[in-house]
Structure formats: structure tokens, C-alpha cells
Amino acid sequence: MQESNVILQLRNVTKTFGDFVAIRDVNLDIYDGEFLTIVGPSGSGKTTMIRLLVGMDKPTEGDIHLKNIRINDVPANKRPTCMVFQSLALFPHRTVGQNIEFPLKIRGDDSSSRKDRAMDLIRLLQLPENYYSKNVMKCSGGERQRVALARALAFDPEILFFDEPLSSIDFRLRKTLEKELKDIHRRTGKTFVYITHSLEEAMVMSDRIAVLRQGEFVQIGSPDDIYNQPKNQFVSEFMGEVNVFPVEVREDGSLHCSEVDAVFACPSPHQIPGSRGSLVVRPEAIRFLEPGEQCSSSLDGAVFNEYSLGSRMQYNVQVADKMITVEKLREQRYEGDFDRSVSIGWDIEDSVLLDITD
């Protein structure tokens, strides 16, 4: 993507509340038409970030540019962007149709064109057409999500922001709505900026993910980058269950982990001997070794327990005092007994060495 495609730009943006620094010297380019997710644990500055982006707060330092125009001091109601709130903030005294038409009414559209547009959006979001005159508080949770999205789309914003709108929805519906949102993104071609605490949710929907931690972006990249090449342990652990081995680089360039007293091959060569780091291995990268099978990194232990995850099986393998998580497809499940000694191992390219310190 080229520079000309940048629609919103943060340059050295800092936001402080008294002595507390909520956002620290952040740079971010948002490209036209992309689905960007800003993800971070609670307290990472997500809420402050979206309030800055939407225009409910002003940055303490730095600049925000929308299409090369500085918009630091433009209040939310004068910005051509729009947000779907965590609480959805639907107008409870209005019907579905009136909610969707609200931004059109403010713009001064006449009632027939308003209704046409509202009906278009109701169809786009696959709501029943007779919902137009239904009170919005009588809709179910998922339907309300769609109404809130329709209302935001009716505003026809340059960028559509989402502040964790799916967090209060139950698991199954959330999965459906995540995919639906991505489909809507494709259909409309709008720029979506989504804020969430769930990297899993971010993975499903986004073109790019920005991981926020303590007011700073730790890593910005595609879901693939984040998953396969996490910049540090924080990012890798944030993604879900991973195995982390604290290691020290030996003279011959291999890695020694004192916790399990084993030596692993180093995925990133030319490390200074004596430096320390974390070797991160995803559960699905680890396999059970056949007797006599050789592998660049291997460990001997015993299967302690197994858990069924539906299409996959997960195992806790005990090596010394450490539990190592291994994940297999159901067809490739481990057939042996618990507590019998097994060898596990992984290929060098499936491990990542992170957080190296001298």
C-alpha cells in the first residue's frame, strides 16, 4: 500500500491525564478501505485511543490527519467518521427505521429517500424488512448489533470505528457476527477500525492488526505476521496458549533451557553466546516422535492429560516440572497411554526466539 492510500494518520500522538500517560508517542497509518484492528488487554489505552480517533478527546501532543487535513481540534460531530459503541447506544424510544434514519434526518434528507436508504441497509444487514417499524428495544442482541451497524453505515462515514461492540454477546453468536462484519466490510469497501481485547477476534476479521500495550504499539502487521512472527513474548502469549522456554545461548549457537535441562536448535542464528531470551513454540507445531525419529529440537516426557477441543485434541506433556501444551488434529491423536514416556519435538522453523537480552 502506498502513502497516498493513507486515510488517517497519527503522528507522535501522546495523551496524558495528569501524570498518567495513556498513549505514548504513537504513530499509525490507517489505509483507505482496510480492516484494521487495534487489540490490547484492558488498561492498555484502547478506550483512550478510540476516543482520540473519533474526536471525543484531543491529543496532548502530536497530530491526527484525516486525508492530509489536521483534525486534532475537530469535535466528533464535525468529523466524517462514526463509531459503533460498546453499548451500541441505540435510541430506545425509536423504531429500527428511525434509528437508522437518524443521521440522514440530521443531514436533512427528505423522508422518502431516508426510508429507501434505511430499507437498503436493513436488507444489506439481513434484517427482516418489517423490522423497519419495530421498536429497537424489542430486538434481540444480535439484531441490535445489526441496527447499530446500519445506523453507522447510514451516516456514510469515511471511517467506521467499533468499540468492542461484540464483547457482551454470547460465544456462538459472536463467531457468526465476526464473520458477518468482515463480509459487510467487503461489500461496502469502507475503512473499518475495530477495537477489541481479543486477538482471536482480531485474527478472524482484520487485514492488519495493531497490538497495543501500555499506550504503545508493540507490533503492527497482518494476522499472519502477528501469528508466525510475534515481536515479543507479550504478543505471542496474547494470541493464545504457547509454550515459552527461557533459554540461554551457548558457545556453539544452540540454546540451553535449564528448566527442562535440554538443548534446542536456534531459529535465528548469530546470537551472542551468553545472552538470554525466550523460545516460543506453538502447541500445534509440536509433534509426538516415533521411536528412533530424529528432530532438531526434542524433549522426553510423559503425557499427563488430554483435552478434547472439538476438531483438535490438546495434551499436557510433563517434562521435568514443566507442562508443555501439544495440539493435534483429531485424526492424528496420540494413541498411547498416559504417564508412559514419550518424545516430543518440533522443527527449527516452527520456533521463534524473542526478547533477547545480553
Partner 1 sequence: MKDFFRSTGVICALPVVVLLLLVFIAPLFLVFGFSFVPARTFDLFSIPTLDNYQSIVTDTYYISFGWSLFLAFLAVVILFLICYPLAFAMAKVFGRFSIVITMAVVISLLVSENIRLFGWVLVLMKGGVFLGYLEHWFAVELESWLYGAPIIIFGLVYVYLPFMLFPLTLGISMIPNELRQAASDLGAGRWTIFREVDLPLAMPGILIGCMLTFVLCAGAMAEAKVLGGSKVLTMADEIETAFTYKQNWPLGSALSVILIVTVAGIALFTLRTIDLDRILGKTR
Contact pick of 41, 65, 85, 306 for partner 1 (by CB under 8 A): 85
CA distance to 46, 222, 325, per residue, from 283 (Å): 29, 21, 5
Q: At what angle do helices 141-154 and 96-107 cross, to 10 degrees?
A: 10
**CB of 307 vs partner 1, minimal distance in Å:** 39
Contact between 134 and partner 1 by CB under 8 A: the answer reads: no
**CB of 163 vs partner 1, minimal distance in Å:** 10
Contact between 310 and partner 1 by CB under 8 A: the answer reads: no
Instruction: Name which of 148 and 326 has its Cβ closer to partner 1.
Output: 148
Contact between 149 and partner 1 by CB under 8 A: the answer reads: no
**CB of 77 vs partner 1, minimal distance in Å:** 4
How far is Cα of residue 185 from the mean position of the Cα atoms in its chain? 16
Residue-by-residue DSSP string for 184-245: HHHHH--EEEEEES-HHHHHHH-SEEEEEETTEEEEEE-HHHHHHS-SSHHHHHHTS--EEE
Contact pick of 82, 122, 159, 354 for partner 1 (by CB under 8 A): 82
Identify residues 88-127 at the interface with partner 1 (CB under 8 A).
Answer: 89, 91-93, 102-103, 106-107
Contact pick of 2, 4, 42, 77 for partner 1 (by CB under 8 A): 77
Residue 189: half-sphere exposure toward Cβ, Cα within 13 Å:
0
Instruction: Name which of 69 and 272 has its Cβ closer to partner 1.
Output: 69
Contact pick of 1, 12, 56, 183 for partner 1 (by CB under 8 A): 56
Q: Among the candidate windows 112-120, 147-155, 188-196, 260-268, which touches partner 1 by CB under 8 A?
A: 147-155
Contact between 187 and partner 1 by CB under 8 A: the answer reads: no
C-alpha cell at 341: 514416556
Going by their DSSP bridges, the two strands 191-196 and 159-163 should be labelled as parallel
Place of cell 478510540: 50
Nearest residue to 243 (alpha-carbon basis) of 203, 209, 274, 284: 284
Contact between 72 and partner 1 by CB under 8 A: the answer reads: no
**CB of 114 vs partner 1, minimal distance in Å:** 13
Rounded distance, CA 258 to CA 144, Å?
Answer: 53
Contact between 227 and partner 1 by CB under 8 A: the answer reads: no
Nearest residue to 288 (alpha-carbon basis) of 278, 303, 267: 303
**CB of 155 vs partner 1, minimal distance in Å:** 5
CA distance to 287, 313, 330, 336, 339, per residue, from 333 (Å): 10, 7, 5, 9, 16
**CB of 93 vs partner 1, minimal distance in Å:** 5
Residue 328: half-sphere exposure toward Cβ, Cα within 13 Å:
17
Positions touching partner 1 (CB under 8 A) are 54-56, 75-77, 82-83, 85, 87, 89, 91-93, 102-103, 106-107, 137, 151-152, 155
